[in-house]
Chains A and B, each alone.
Chain A
Amino acid sequence: DAGVIQSPRHEVTEMGQEVTLRCKPISGHNSLFWYRQTMMRGLELLIYFNNNVPIDDSGMPEDRFSAKMPNASFSTLKIQPSEPRDSAVYFCASSSRLAGKGEQYFGPGTRLTVT
């Protein structure tokens, strides 16, 4: 099992540019989560999907952020336009109600720097 795959691992962009983060969950998992981690705010849940359907997006900071899950094996988190305060590590995680105890498995994260 390859685990949760995220790309890119590092992204440096200029303010105002569009940023797209990608995630491939573990095969067979039916829940996918996007988190943001900063020193100031800790680990924040942005949005999560069950069976490709967004369930709770109340953590999405503002309209500049959007997330999609077009199929069970792929999700994107887009920031348009990006701002320096978006600099953070973004994690994707997946889990399954059917496997194990439903623990979340995290990807390695994408470190985003907006200058």
Chain B
Amino acid sequence: DGGITQSPKYLFRKEGQNVTLSCEQNLNHDAMYWYRQDPGQGLRLIYYSQIVNDFQKGDIAEGYSVSREKKESFPLTVTSAQKNPTAFYLCASSRGTGATSGANVLTFGAGSRLTVL
């Protein structure tokens, strides 16, 4: 079945360490996204990518980095510059730029929960 796989599901990090969250999709979607969710809050956009080798900052990109070397993969690195990284991270994908009109439905992964010790 097609879908989005995020790993790891749970991750613990010491302060000052960089960590990378994996996101892989087999939906042949052009666009991919990373969101952050804090307890009781909505989702905030970190980065998004409309096409391979291109990505844009979202609303809260500081302290994060991404790459898009393959259509299927969009890893997120949480750097030591991120002051409050403990959160639930969600990856999503959509048809994106392949659709010149019409709706753009997002498919989400199951999420990765990062805790800084």
Q: Are A and B part of the same complex?
A: no
Give A contacts to B, CB under 8 Å.
none
